[in-house]
A = this chain, B = another copy of it.
Amino acid sequence: MNPSPIRVTIWNENVHEQQEPSVAELYPKGLHGTLAERLAAPDLAIRTATLEQPEHGLTQDVLAETDVLLWWGHAAHDKVEDAVVERVRQRVWDGMGLLVMHSGHMSKIFRALNGTSGKLHWREVGELERVWCIDPAHPIASGVPEHFDIPYEEMYGEPFMIAGDAHVIFMSWFEGGEVFRSGFTLQRGFGRMFYFRPGHEAFPTFYHEEVLKVLANGIRWLKPTVDRPYPKTNVPVSLEPIAPKDFAFCKVGIVKG
């Protein structure tokens, strides 16, 4: 008997596709549509959601049925309602996996989970990005070559404002002279997170074989691992006996002393 498939929701703000013909030409079904198509596999049950839907398509029910959430946003970070961000944050803390792509580094959810600004340097001239794998032993690097090239990408450069426990798997070299930590994992609460840099809307990055391989590996690795909720936080009865104490005396004595 096969295990039940991983329930994946691909979220995309879907703004550039509607405003820029060149993007629409590259991704006629939207970035989310292309990703859903290219990542399709028997062990995945994929659905998509976009900004324009009610509650951005991320209702309590949808999230409750999502094991791994992919996130692509750029032009409309501030249009994402705080209540939805809080809902996603809570689901990650409870165990849901989250894969943030490219310009999602400035999304509310990325910043909320890193605890950082997400700032970086950037330049959009369409330059060569070479992605180096620096932890070949990580499951997300499985089957990924030592390095691979993406011929036309936006540049992201250091310093990248991310959390100190980012476990870096990929680092990028850019034709124009910069370097970047372009793929890293985090744990927040009971959930895992993976950030992967490539994926500019103006370039065909989401048709790139190695990029898709990394995303595919990422989804499998992000599958929830926890088997319980966080337990009741108040534990009024102690496991060990508490010696009686004279509080009144203590307080007055120390305050006056």
User: Which residues of A are interface residues toward B (Cβ below 8 A)?
Assistant: 22, 25-26, 82, 90, 93, 95, 112-117, 119-123, 125-128, 130, 132-139, 142-143, 146, 151-152, 155, 157-161, 163-165, 167, 171-179, 181, 186-191, 203-204, 207-208, 225-228, 230-231, 233-240, 242-243, 245, 247, 250-252, 254-255, 257
Contacts and interface: CB of A to CB of B under 8 A. Distances in A.
A251 B142 contact: no
A120 to B, nearest CB: 7
A230 B123 contact: no
A93 B151 contact: no
B207 A238 contact: no
A199 to B, nearest CB: 14
Given A95-B137, A159-B230, A176 B242 contact: yes
Contacts of A163: 115, 163-165, 188
Contact of A243 (B157, B167, B175): B175
A155 to B, nearest CB: 7
Contact of A127 (B113, B126, B233, B242): B242
Given A25-B251, A115-B163, A158 B134 contact: yes
Contacts of A142: 225, 227
A190 B164 CA distance: 12
A130 to B, nearest CB: 6
A165 B146 CA distance: 23
Nearest to A159: B134
A233 B130 contact: no
Contact of A242 (B125, B255, B257): B125
Nearest to A143: B227
B175 A25 contact: no
Given A163-B163, A225-B142, A233 B119 contact: yes
Given A152-B247, A159-B133, A173-B179, A255 B26 contact: yes
Nearest to A133: B159
